């Protein structure tokens, strides 16, 4: 094991976590904006597949960038998102001043 691997698996740099949350926030807001989707629309679309989240709850989760993987995938599904490109992730991190590469 290298010296960089010695960190505990449970230790997370808070700045890195915040950057990943901002990534989620930016991606979802951009996709909603592209489609002209408001939080109530998103709530209604999720309800159509049996997922009940209020518009306010969704707004809070997206703005904080914190949600379970299941909800992220459900949102991607109802927004008809095809994929999240690795290059987009790299670009957003660079915009945040935290380049991954």
**Residue numbers in the chain where pLDDT is lower than 70:** 1-14, 101
Is 86 among the domain residues? yes
Is 31 among the domain residues? yes
Is 39 among the domain residues? yes
Is 4 among the domain residues? no
Is 68 among the domain residues? yes
Is 40 among the domain residues? yes
Is 26 among the domain residues? yes
Q: Which domain does 30 fall in, by range?
A: 17-92
Kindly report the pTM of this predicted structure: 0.81
Is 51 among the domain residues? yes
The sign of the CA dihedral 17, 38, 85, 93 is: negative
Tens digit of each residue's pLDDT (9 = 90 or more) over 2-24: 445 545 455 656 677 888 999 99
Q: Residue 12: its pLDDT value, please?
A: 57
Number of compact structural domains in the chain: 1
């Amino acid at each position: 094991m290298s010296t960089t691997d010695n960190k505990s698996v449970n230790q997370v740099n808070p700045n890195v976590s915040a950057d990943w949350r901002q990534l989620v926030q930016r991606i979802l807001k951009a996709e909603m904006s592209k489609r002209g989707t408001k939080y109530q629309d998103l709530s209604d679309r999720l309800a159509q597949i049996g997922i009940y989240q209020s518009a306010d709850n969704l707004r809070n989760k997206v703005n904080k960038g914190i949600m379970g993987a299941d909800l992220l995938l459900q949102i991607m599904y109802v927004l008809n998102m095809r994929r999240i490109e690795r290059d987009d992730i790299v670009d957003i991190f660079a915009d945040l001043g935290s380049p991954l590469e």
